Amino acid sequence: MMRQMRRSLLLVLSYLTWNAAFRLVILSLAVYSMSRSGATFAEISETTTTNQILVVGMGCLGFLFLITQMNPIATVSRTEIVTGHLIETRFYPAFLRGTVLACVFAFVGLVAGYYHYIGFFVQSDSPALAFFGLLFRAVSILLMVYIDEFIFRGRFLSLLRNSAHPIRMILLCALLYSLSKSLLFHLGLAQLLTLALLGTALSLRAYLYRTFAEGAGFLAGFLIVAHCVFSLPIFGNETQGFILLHYDIRLDIDAPVVRFLTGGIGGPLSSVAFQLLLLGDILRNAYREKKSLWPLQTRALD
């Protein structure tokens, strides 16, 4: 039992350390290169902030490659990570649900008037280059989400399944997941609360249904469409997507409650409405599967 606990914690801590170190090295090289070419501090700050998601996605991919090549130290096979059956039955349907939710979020914002339509597709002198940049960003989000879910919900939870109480295990996984994102992005309190609820909801589903791909599909679909299609900010990062929507900043003064419900300039991950949706999912699954989550109590009653 203790061995499984140590293995699971070592995996997650290695993942956190790798991603933080990879991000630091890449951003340091970028700052050094831009400063030597005469770029101003504002230009350097804008470039590094804009490309945070790209760096994190590549860092996650690097860690996955590392653990698959470290046999027998780390025994991770390709079939554990991705298979055609897993993508077809778990990832793809959940991806579509996340896509629909992102579309509903943007549509409601347009109808309610707190989002304004600015333009269609990338307003750029080099649309082909901008398109591939946007595609690369979408792939980076997909890699980040999928590998996150495999590490936290696929490996960490499976290693701890028989070593800890389900509730403690789920909360610990959610805590470490939130910590991983706070080390990589500059997040506000509202976004941290959303990540804590998101980590709990995904961990609970992964524990009950023994799959990480469903949560990965839902989150990847939601973030890719919200960020790369509708240009909504995520993790403090902004981009110009296929459809450019802007939040009406005047509402922060005229109707401040709208900022809390929608997330305001922080995007959907700062939204109280999204947080309530996650909380409802947690409570519903916890109530439906209470016998699985409290096994000791159930055995005592029997």
pLDDT of residue 300: 39
In a domain, residue 157? The reply is: yes
Q: 148-167: per-residue pLDDT in tens? A: 999 999 889 888 887 778 88
pLDDT of residue 44: 77
- Provide the whole-model pTM: 0.90
In a domain, residue 234? The reply is: yes
Q: Which residues pair with 237 in a beta bridge?
A: 234
Q: How far is CA 114 from CA 106, 137, 138, 239, 259, in A?
A: 10, 26, 25, 18, 9
Q: Beta-strand (E) ranges in 122-242?
A: none
Structural domain harbouring 115: 2-293
Peptide bond into 93 cis (omega under 30): no
In a domain, residue 112? The reply is: yes
In a domain, residue 174? The reply is: yes
CB 267 within 8 A of CB 234: yes
Q: 162-214: per-residue pLDDT in tens? A: 777 888 889 999 999 999 999 999 888 999 999 999 999 999 999 988 889 99
pLDDT of residue 50: 79
Q: Tally the domains of the chain.
A: 1
d(CA 212, CA 207): 9
In a domain, residue 13? The reply is: yes
In a domain, residue 302? The reply is: no
pLDDT of residue 42: 78
In this prediction, the residues of the chain whose per-residue pLDDT falls under 50 are 297-302
pLDDT of residue 99: 97
Give the type of residue at 104.
V
- DSSP H helices, 37-160, are 41-50, 52-68, 78-81, 84-86, 92-112, 127-149, 157-160
d(CA 205, CA 216): 11
In a domain, residue 217? The reply is: yes
